[in-house]
Amino acid sequence: MTSQIKDKKKIGRLKKRADFLLMNTKGKRWVTPAFAVQVLEKESETPYLVGFTATKKFSKRAVDRNRAKRRLRALVEENLSQLAKEGYAYVFIARDECLNVSFEQMKQDLRWALKRLECLARTFVR
């Protein structure tokens, strides 16, 4: 178990509003039924920078917004280091189907979105 943890690369977090606004204006975007992904090449000490958001437009209930962000965090923790190129910042935005679609479908959507955004690592483990 500890060997798996050592193999995972460190994922940094985007938390400042200015970072999210920069991603929104300059980043590329791909939309799936469950989430939208924004990508921007960015220098950092960590290989990946990731931010998550679920707005009140997604759901008025905080419980639903928190659950959607938990699902997106789990998706990223499990798959980003295998699928994505390093040196990029990623923002995941929860959409209407985030709570209804299966986790396997979200994985497929993530792989497809990264491919379309030209951020899919050439060698990834299936």
pLDDT tens for each residue of 66-111: 999 999 999 999 998 889 888 899 999 999 999 999 999 999 999 9
**Contact (Cβ atoms closer than 8 angstroms) between residue 76 and residue 92:** yes
Quote the pTM value: 0.87
pLDDT of residue 59: 94
For residue 2, is pLDDT > 50? no
State the pLDDT confidence band at 126, using cuts at 50, 70 and 90.
low
CA distance 27 to 124: 23
- Going 24 to 25 to 26 to 28, the CA torsion angle's sign is positive
| Burial (CB count within 10 angstroms: exposed 0-12, middle 13-18, buried 19+), residue 31 | middle
State the pLDDT confidence band at 8, using cuts at 50, 70 and 90.
low
